[in-house]
Amino acid sequence: MKILQMHVDFIEYTPVKKEIGRAEDIEPRTVREDEIVVLFTAFEQGDDRELAAKAVSETKEFLTKLGTKRVLLYPFAHLSQNLAQPSDALSLLLEMEKDAKSAGLDVHRAPFGWTKALQVKVKGHPLAEMSRSYSHATVTVQAPKPRAKRELSAEEAMARLRKSDFGNLPETDHRIIGERQDLFSFQEVSPGMVYLHEKGLRLRNILVDYLKGELAEGGYQEVSTPSLANTALWRVSGHSDHYKENMFLTELGNEEMGMKPMNCPSHFLIYKSRKWSFRELPVRYATFDPLYRNELSGVASGLFRVKALSQDDAHIIAMEEQAEGELGKMLDLMERVYGVFKLGYKVKISTRPDDSMGSDEEWERATSTLIKVVKSRGWKYEIKDKEGNFYSPKIDVDIKDSLGREWQCGTFQLDLQMPKRFKLAYTGSDGKEHTPVVLHRTILGSLERFMGIMLEHYKGVLPVWLSPVQARVIPLSDEHVTYGQAVLRSLTSSGIRAEGDFASGTMGAKIRNAQLQHVPYMLVVGKKEEDSKTVAVRSRGGEQKFGVPVDDFVTTVKADMTARR
Please give the residue ranges that form the binding site for Zn ion (CB under 5 A): 264, 440
Choosing from 7, 125, 264, 409, the catalytic residue is 264
Choosing from 109, 175, 204, 311, the catalytic residue is 311
8 A C-beta contact, residue 231 and residue 277:
no
Residues 6+ apart with CB under 8 A from 13: 30, 31, 74, 110, 116, 117, 118, 119
CB closer to Zn ion out of 33 and 313? 313
Choosing from 315, 352, 441, 538, the catalytic residue is 315
CB closer to Zn ion out of 264 and 473? 264
515, exposed or middle or buried, with CB in 10 Å at 0-12, 13-18, 19+? middle
Residue 478 appears among annotated catalytic residues:
no
The nearest distance, CB 413 to Zn ion, in angstroms, is: 7
SS3 227: coil
Residue 434 appears among annotated catalytic residues:
no
The nearest distance, CB 412 to Zn ion, in angstroms, is: 11
Residue 409 appears among annotated catalytic residues:
no
CB closer to Zn ion out of 41 and 263? 263
CB closer to Zn ion out of 440 and 510? 440
The nearest distance, CB 236 to Zn ion, in angstroms, is: 14
Computed over its alpha carbons, how large is the radius of gyration of the chain?
29
Which H or E run contains 560? helix 550-563
Choosing from 47, 99, 312, 313, the catalytic residue is 313
CB closer to Zn ion out of 440 and 497? 440
H helical segments located in 342-421 = 360-376, 418-421
Sequence letter at residue 412 = F
SS3 205: helix
The nearest distance, CB 441 to Zn ion, in angstroms, is: 8
CB closer to Zn ion out of 44 and 312? 312
Residue 315 appears among annotated catalytic residues:
yes
Instruction: List, in sequence order, every beta strand (DSSP E) within 272-427.
Output: 283-287, 290-292, 308-318, 344-350, 381-384, 394-400, 406-415, 426-427
Residues 101, 406: Cα–Cα separation, whole Å: 32
The nearest distance, CB 351 to Zn ion, in angstroms, is: 18
CB closer to Zn ion out of 312 and 529? 312
184-189-191 Cα angle (round to 5): 70
Sequence letter at residue 345 = Y
Residue 470 appears among annotated catalytic residues:
no
Instruction: Please state, as a whole number, how many other Cβ atoms lie within 10 Å of the Cβ of residue 514.
Output: 23
Residues 500, 548: Cα–Cα separation, whole Å: 18
SS3 347: strand
Residues 391, 394: Cα–Cα separation, whole Å: 10
Choosing from 293, 305, 352, 449, the catalytic residue is 293
The nearest distance, CB 192 to Zn ion, in angstroms, is: 22
Residues 126, 305: Cα–Cα separation, whole Å: 14
CB closer to Zn ion out of 196 and 264? 264
The nearest distance, CB 365 to Zn ion, in angstroms, is: 19
Instruction: Please state, as a whole number, how many other Cβ atoms lie within 10 Å of the Cβ of residue 12.
Output: 16
Choosing from 116, 123, 174, 394, the catalytic residue is 394
The nearest distance, CB 409 to Zn ion, in angstroms, is: 15
For CA atoms 50, 55, 58, 64, the dihedral sign is: negative
Question: Which residues belong to the active site?
Answer: 264, 293, 311, 313, 315, 394, 440
